Structure 1
């Protein structure tokens, strides 16, 4: 059901990411969510945990600061504190610890899928279903699926994402290479580029999650978009030949030296730096990477960037793409009535046509809401949205579904594979052992 819904959503996005038939938001008619001051004029305090802390996210932070200012202006006595934390630290360390202790901030960056389900199970998240209905927002979004548990919604997506292959149009043209449509095309292109002393793929593997973006898409290509659900219910195994095949092919890229040299010592930013400097022909990354790539102060290839879905590999997952709406704002269940009023006003100020359009135009963030106007969008962003719209269907990132211990073991294992310290058959055997243990543990706790 989950995959079908994502496919239907992606299939419903047109070349311009759909000019929605829905009417514009009516909320702006009143200009607010009818806020009220704190009890007896007392101040109302809110903390917003955000992840807009990188130099490349200054515009996103500025938009958030504007939303905060507008929210404070609408709610008498309201004071909002912004708490910026790097996204992975927030997701895997800080927020997790706060949830365990029962003291998360009132508003926070929330990842969908497993994270949301875990926090709902711990009774930490505010049910947003009645609020979305009250504010008339329920039908304004493409999908709440990543944040829906037992029919209730616990997160409001900020933007969409899609993952694929960025390519340097000039490098390919200069070497008489067309954007590869098949795995064999990709191998032939990589071989030709390496012979010309051009790095085929930018890769920074110190941050282990980066490696698994491309490997995730590759095993979906060979094993199909339902493979993750199969791992979870036991109908599919990491040791199945069609899964191992993807990792064998990934290992071939490693052995052939097609990845950036010294990648295990390089942090994520170095992957983008290698590509944006014009020193690599391809880079597998998410739509969020377009911001630094299109910044003329940071990128030497602003006019030479293309984006495509990963080439077909001859399996049941050809044509599908990793994409969806998995990043959101979540809200603590433990809030006062006055804080709840402020939260509603924050939602009004954050989620509207104007703000979503600004995110799309200024930052290239695929909208979470159905926009009426998608004009003045950078050509690269349009291409990214077109690739998403024209895919056969979408599948969620594996780390939004798979258990934490399996994810961690796969991340460490892929670093070992890149470093030549393991092989695909051995790695998949180890991953399956952890998968069996995690599935068993989940069965006992449910």
Structure 2
């Protein structure tokens, strides 16, 4: 098996509005060029706003890191005042930032999602080209990947951390029930049956927030249809109705019909999924590496010493062994900044993207670093396990919502909730998805 180097030797939103492709400035000036004339920052007031998404109780440590960077940046730049604007992640990505981009007035610095979001904002001429800045600061070769933020050879976002999705499991429950880690789909289903018979919830699941339910099925259809399935949907070489895609949804319905998900999941918000698992009331939970923080907090989790992480079992398809992971969350920067603001932005980048800050993220929050660290000591064993699983996967694939069109994503989200509620079946859902996919592909072709 080919091993990818990750971290250390162990590891879409398409805009629903039409944006003008012309410059948001009155001329073709480039703030990067204007600010590179060697002049220092004057003492006149300089204002920057940073839009961040560290607003939950479980994200206090991440917010503290950002606040420390802000203080360090302000101390280095005379006259600089930075305002922090915290917005919940989904609201920022799908509502607030999208509206600001449409109006041409995003904050100077903001949380940016890679893939389709970045490409659409570049097309609208809203993002600052970071390529020369990264080169100037000597950072270009210090990151694992800029792929999700690169458009036409230029970099428009700087990743903060990596992510990986897979199965968390309760070691104590599996040991007590005599269940070994499942390596295949059949073994996973058999384990779920044994757990249910013992009156233990097999899978923690909260589906009120529609994106949550699509994490696991995304991995499942990649297992059965291949890691290139999303690109196939986009270019027409694959269809949602193909047997290998349909197979994954039919197998997912098996879990629904046998009541292997926690009761009342359609009415439960995302936090309830983690609460169920961390309280020791479920054996498995499909989630991302970002979920490890509350799981490892002994004040909030009774399984802090008993949680493990694994890649999803094989399902007998071309996508077996691959894992949903990468570097899709970053800071982006508005193109509409003054030369003085740009110099302050460069200082922010210098303070934020350091070995010490990336190490702090890894140790305190278990966030897989975006930069290649030299020191990876003092890492929690669960984080070590997550990084090991990531590094030893057959390969990676991006989350479908970083590539697929908005209307297709929305139809899949609603459709999966309907499937979970017994209001549709896999074949009907796939037919509806394929119709929307063809319509979205056609619309995209016409607007190019």
Q: TM-score, normalization: structure 1?
A: 0.93
Please give the residue correspondences for 1:212-227 in structure 2 after superposition, counting only pairs within 5 Å: 212-227=214-229
Please give the residue correspondences for 1:14-413 in structure 2 after superposition, counting only pairs within 5 Å: 16-17=9-10, 36-38=40-42, 41-413=43-415
Secondary structure of the residue that 2:112 maps to in structure 1?
strand
- Give CA-to-partner distance per residue, 1:180-212, whole Å, 9 cap, x none: 100000000000000000000000000000000
Q: Aligned in 2, Cα 1:197/1:409: closer, same or farther, shift over 3 Å?
A: same
The answer to whether the 8 A contact 1:106-1:331 is kept is: yes
The answer to whether the 8 A contact 1:35-1:341 is kept is: no
Q: Which runs of 5+ in 1 are unaligned?
A: 1-6, 19-33
The answer to whether the 8 A contact 1:35-1:74 is kept is: no
Q: Aligned in 2, Cα 1:35/1:95: closer, same or farther, shift over 3 Å?
A: farther
Measured after TM superposition, the shift of residue 17 of structure 1 is 4.5
Secondary structure of the residue that 1:139 maps to in structure 2?
helix
Determine which of 407, 413, 416 is the counterpart of 1:414.
Answer: 416
Secondary structure of the residue that 2:386 maps to in structure 1?
helix
The answer to whether the 8 A contact 2:203-2:283 is kept is: yes
User: How many residues end up aligned between the 2 structures?
Assistant: 422
Measured after TM superposition, the shift of residue 150 of structure 1 is 0.2
The answer to whether the 8 A contact 1:225-1:317 is kept is: yes
Measured after TM superposition, the shift of residue 36 of structure 1 is 3.3
Measured after TM superposition, the shift of residue 177 of structure 1 is 0.1
Measured after TM superposition, the shift of residue 37 of structure 1 is 2.8
Report what 2:5 is aligned to. Answer: 12
The answer to whether the 8 A contact 1:53-1:86 is kept is: yes
Report what 2:437 is aligned to. Answer: 435
Measured after TM superposition, the shift of residue 35 of structure 1 is 8.9
Q: What is the distance in 1 between the residues matched to 2:4 and 2:384?
A: 16
Measured after TM superposition, the shift of residue 215 of structure 1 is 0.2
Q: What is the distance in 2 between the residues matched to 1:411 and 1:258?
A: 20
The answer to whether the 8 A contact 1:205-1:265 is kept is: yes
RMSD of Structure 2 on Structure 1 (CA): 1.3
Q: What is the distance in 2 between the residues matched to 1:16 and 1:295?
A: 27
The answer to whether the 8 A contact 1:221-1:315 is kept is: yes
Q: What is the distance in 1 between the residues matched to 2:216 and 2:342?
A: 41
Secondary structure of the residue that 1:391 maps to in structure 2?
coil
The answer to whether the 8 A contact 2:7-2:368 is kept is: no
- Give CA-to-partner distance per residue, 1:376-422, whole Å, 9 cap, x none: 10000000000000000000000000001100010000000000000
The answer to whether the 8 A contact 1:142-1:368 is kept is: yes
Measured after TM superposition, the shift of residue 16 of structure 1 is 4.5
The answer to whether the 8 A contact 2:205-2:265 is kept is: yes
The answer to whether the 8 A contact 1:36-1:76 is kept is: no
Q: What is the distance in 2 between the residues matched to 1:64 and 1:224?
A: 38
- Give CA-to-partner distance per residue, 1:341-391, whole Å, 9 cap, x none: 000000000001000000000000000000001111000000000000000
- Give CA-to-partner distance per residue, 1:46-92, whole Å, 9 cap, x none: 00000000000000000000000000000000000000000000000
- List structure 1 segments (4+ residues) > 4 angstroms apart after TM superposition: 14-18
Q: Which runs of 5+ in 2 are unaligned?
A: 12-37
Q: What is the distance in 2 between the residues matched to 1:297 and 1:411?
A: 33
